[in-house]
Amino acid sequence: MSGDNRARLLALYATMCRIRAFEETALAAHRAGEIPGPLHVSIGQEGVAAGVCMNLRTNDRITSNHRGHGHAIAKGAGIAGMMEELFGRAGGHCRGKGGSMHIADFSVGMLGANGVVAGGIPIAVGAAQGLKMLGSDAVVCCFFGDGAINRGPFLEGLNWAVLYNLPVLFVCEDNGVAAFTRADAVTAGPGITARAEALGVPCTSVDGNDAASVDEAAARLVAEIRGGGGPRLLHATTFRLMGHTSTDPASWRETGEVDAARAQEPLLRLRARLLEEGASVKALDTIEGDARAEMSEARAAALAAPWPDPAIAWEDVQDSGALQEAH
């Protein structure tokens, strides 16, 4: 393995470790009563976020879904602002108003997570249309789950993107389950790639638990899109190791299902590859330890951070003048 390739794989591993550490830290904080409301964590799906965002520039945009912490971290969103947002504190990226499902950091092109299934698809398409009108070569990456393909915005968004040849990479994180429902029980026909191809969107399928393969596929697709090739779709199969939310013990899973998936989860697989190709255990342990320390510090800082001033409740939401006075 060349030095450049090893450095890239180590960077992938570091991003995945940071995502895993953030999610585990957030879960611990939630269980301790420090974070209000449930969380939708992406433990087990880190390879998709890291592999795709490795190929995006700062001025490229992304949209996400309710399980969006990993996407935000992979795109470069500030950890302190993310953690404070989960804690509902004033220093959060959305000043404590958005919470877990609505984190956004425009400074790195993270246009926002979205609690509405498939809600990020038309936002991504609109952003891509705006970028094209401005003459920018930036691309937009839209992350969504397999459940989103059964909702109207999927059809509408892909149709519009093809008609106007927009620079969008649609990324389906197919974990085989929408909330608690098996995707194959509610999805007719051969699935997402057939639907996308019927609209004229070229598709690539990849093992989403193999971060290096995701990276390679995304690199090619992003280059095609940036070169004017129009929208593309990346179908990444993966597995959510946790329940639907932080309050779901996932007792609905079949016996042994999660244990089998853990043996193939993306962090273990990339770590094994790096060790086989000459990386040291110490170096990889240091990357993991640094990530855990970073998130532990962010948790402590968020817990000590001030709450938002109630006076800003109406800011960013509606007119705080005449309309408020009228009520």
The confidence score (pLDDT) of residue 78 equals 96
Is residue 185's pLDDT more than 90?
no
Q: What is the mean pLDDT of the chain?
A: 93
User: Distance between CA 89 and CA 82 in Å, rounded?
Assistant: 10
Percentage above 90 pLDDT, the chain = 79
Choose between 95 and 2: higher pLDDT: 95
pLDDT band at 326 (very low <50, low <70, confident <90, very high): very low
Is residue 175's pLDDT more than 90?
no
By CB atoms closer than 10 A (0-12, 13-18, 19+), residue 306 is exposed
User: Distance between CA 26 and CA 303 in Å, rounded?
Assistant: 12
Residue located via tokens 């240091």: 286
**Two structure tokens written together for 229:** 């090739």
User: Distance between CA 167 and CA 159 in Å, rounded?
Assistant: 13
The confidence score (pLDDT) of residue 83 equals 98
Q: What is the β-pairing status of strands 232-237 and 203-207? A: parallel
Under CATH, domain 3-307 is a member of which superfamily? Thiamin diphosphate (ThDP)-binding fold, Pyr/PP domains (3.40.50.970)
User: Would you kindly state where each structural domain of the chain is located, as residue ranges?
Assistant: 3-307
The confidence score (pLDDT) of residue 327 equals 43
**Short-list 293, 266, 288, CA closest to 52:** 266
The confidence score (pLDDT) of residue 168 equals 98
**Two structure tokens written together for 304:** 């000590």
Angle at 99 between CA 94 and CA 101, to 5 degrees: 110
Choose between 174 and 312: higher pLDDT: 174
Name all contacts of 33-36 with Cβ < 8 Å and 24+ positions apart. 34/87, 34/299, 34/303, 35/86, 35/87, 35/88, 35/100, 36/88, 36/99
Is residue 184's pLDDT more than 70?
yes
Report the SS3 class of residue 145. Answer: strand
Read off the pLDDT of residues 68-125 as tens digits, 9 standing for 90 and up: 999 999 999 999 999 999 999 999 999 999 999 999 999 999 999 999 999 999 999 9
Can you say whether residue 12 is alpha, beta or left, with left for phi > 0 and alpha for psi between -120 and 50 degrees?
alpha
**Two structure tokens written together for 21:** 């550490």
Read off the pLDDT of residues 262-285 as tens digits, 9 standing for 90 and up: 889 999 999 999 999 999 999 999
User: Distance between CA 296 and CA 285 in Å, rounded?
Assistant: 16
Is residue 1's pLDDT more than 80?
no
The confidence score (pLDDT) of residue 182 equals 82
**Short-list 169, 186, 180, CA closest to 57:** 169
The confidence score (pLDDT) of residue 257 equals 85
